[in-house]
Amino acid sequence: MSIIIYNLEASSMVNADDKAVYPYTGFFAITPPPPSDPSIIEADGGKWIRLPSDGRLVEYFVHGSTKNDAAILVDCPGGGATGALVGKLPGVAEWCEAHNVKIISPSYPGFGHSEVRPGWTIGEWPKSDLEPILEQEGVTDSFMVTGTSFGTPHAQAMAVYFGERVKVLGLRVPYVGRHVSEDVGLPLGQANMRYDSKSCNT
């Protein structure tokens, strides 16, 4: 398979004074990774499953409570992150352990050590990748879902696929569809936050 390069021209950065603009060009190179090694996942503190549907290896991480009666929270990480991230955030795993919450956080196809699935869609992901993980972890009842940024469409897809099994849905910096955006008055399908150098970090 060939390498695909995307040239992101005509982008710019604005300095802290909102005056000088610096043009830049970004590149992404995408190439198939080598097959994943389960021992590397385990050495990183993760778990894995070999999917019966297509034989792909999928990485996921479990944080928090290890009790059999723990409440289940499925965390969908943001872009560029893997399931390991939420457990490394200060105090999160400890809080979950103290409050009997078990976090299951998967790495999407092509993220971390989860093997690539050419042509996969977010709408298919709950059935193809997540449901086998939940079965392996013995999750048969309802659960909570949270997602951050790129993870929010995955979390929304879970709510659609699993229906009433999803008892809580939390979205941080969410992506929302065009119809919902228009219904709530967001311009062009996204929020115009009008951040500037004085408001961005307040």
**Model confidence, pTM:** 0.74
pLDDT digits (tens, 9 = 90+) for 32-85: 566 788 999 999 999 999 998 899 999 999 999 999 999 999 999 998 888 888
Selection from 42, 79, 60 nearest residue 134 by Cα: 60
From the CB of residue 159, how many other CB atoms can be counted at a distance below 10 Å?
17
- What is the per-residue pLDDT for 80? 80
pLDDT digits (tens, 9 = 90+) for 123-146: 999 999 999 999 999 999 999 999
Phi, psi of 130 (to 5 degrees): -80, -45
